[in-house]
C-alpha cells in the first residue's frame, strides 16, 4: 500500500474505532447503565482507535491480546445463531432476542471485525516491541478491580462475578478461574502473534 493511502486508511480506521467506542460509552450513559462503560470491548475500541491514530502498535497489540479469544468465542456463538437459529453458549442471545436496540446491535457487530482490522493495522504500522502483554495484564487487573467495586453483580460486566456460560468449574473459586483464563488467553494470543 502506498504511503499516502496507508496514512488515509489508518486515520480513517483509527477514527472509526475511537468514535465507535465513544458511541458505545455515551449510549451506556444515555441508557442509565453507566457500569457498561467498563466493558472490555468498549475500552478496547477506544484504545485501538488511539493506538492507530498515534501509530503505537504497542497499544493496539495490548488490546488484541485481551480481546482475540473472547471475540472468537463470541463470533462462533453468533455464527451458530445465524446458521441454526438457536443458541450455542448463550453469549449472543441478547443480539437476536432484543431487536429494538439497533444502535447497540450495530456496536456489537464490531466483535466480528475488530481483531482482523487491528492486526492489519499493526502490520501497516509495524511492531517495534513484543511485550504489550504486560500492559494487557495490568489493564485486566485494573478493570477487574473497578468492575467488582463499582458495578452490580447481576450485570456481570466482563463475566467477572460468574461465568457467562453454563460451565461448572468445580471446587475452584471463580475469581481464580477468571484470572487464569484471562491471563492464559493473553499469553496464548501473544505467543501466536509474536510467532507470525
Which positions ≥6 away from 156 have C-beta within 8 Å?
Answer: 162, 164
Instruction: Please tell me the total count of domains within the chain.
Output: 1
Apex CA 168: angle with CA 40 and CA 164, to 5°?
25
The pLDDT value given to residue 101: 64
Q: Are 157 and 151 in contact (CB under 8 A)?
A: yes
CA dist 135 and 123 (Å) reads 20
CA dist 27 and 149 (Å) reads 22
Tell me the residue range of the domain where 31 lies. 3-195
For the chain, how many residues are written?
196
Compute, in degrees rounded to 10, the torsion defined by CA atoms 113, 116, 117, 123. 180
From first to last of its 196 residues, the chain has per-residue pLDDT tens of 778 889 999 999 999 999 999 999 998 888 888 888 999 999 999 999 999 999 999 999 999 999 999 999 999 999 999 999 888 888 888 888 876 667 888 888 999 999 999 999 999 999 887 889 999 999 999 999 999 998 888 888 998 998 877 666 677 888 999 999 999 999 999 998 887 7
pTM to 2 decimals? 0.91
Is the four-CA dihedral 137, 138, 140, 145 of positive or negative sign? positive
Q: Are 53 and 126 in contact (CB under 8 A)?
A: no
Amino acid at each position: 500500500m502506498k504511503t499516502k493511502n496507508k496514512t488515509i486508511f489508518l486515520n480513517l480506521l483509527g477514527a472509526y474505532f475511537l468514535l465507535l467506542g465513544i458511541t458505545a460509552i455515551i449510549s451506556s450513559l444515555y441508557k442509565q447503565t453507566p457500569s457498561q462503560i467498563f466493558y472490555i470491548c468498549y475500552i478496547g475500541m477506544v484504545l485501538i482507535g488511539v493506538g492507530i491514530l498515534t501509530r503505537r502498535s504497542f497499544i493496539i497489540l495490548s488490546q488484541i491480546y485481551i480481546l482475540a479469544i473472547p471475540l472468537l468465542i463470541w463470533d462462533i456463538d453468533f455464527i451458530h445463531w445465524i446458521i441454526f437459529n438457536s443458541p450455542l453458549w448463550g453469549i449472543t442471545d441478547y443480539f437476536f432476542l432484543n431487536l429494538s436496540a439497533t444502535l447497540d446491535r450495530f456496536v456489537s457487530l464490531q466483535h466480528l471485525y475488530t481483531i482482523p482490522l487491528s492486526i492489519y493495522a499493526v502490520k501497516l504500522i509495524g511492531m517495534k516491541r513484543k511485550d504489550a502483554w504486560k500492559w494487557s495484564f495490568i489493564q485486566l487487573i485494573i478493570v477487574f478491580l473497578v468492575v467488582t467495586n463499582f458495578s452490580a453483580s447481576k450485570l456481570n460486566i466482563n463475566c467477572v462475578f460468574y461465568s457467562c456460560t453454563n460451565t461448572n468449574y468445580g471446587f475452584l473459586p471463580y475469581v481464580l478461574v477468571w484470572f487464569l483464563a484471562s491471563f492464559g488467553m493473553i499469553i496464548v494470543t501473544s505467543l501466536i502473534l509474536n510467532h507470525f
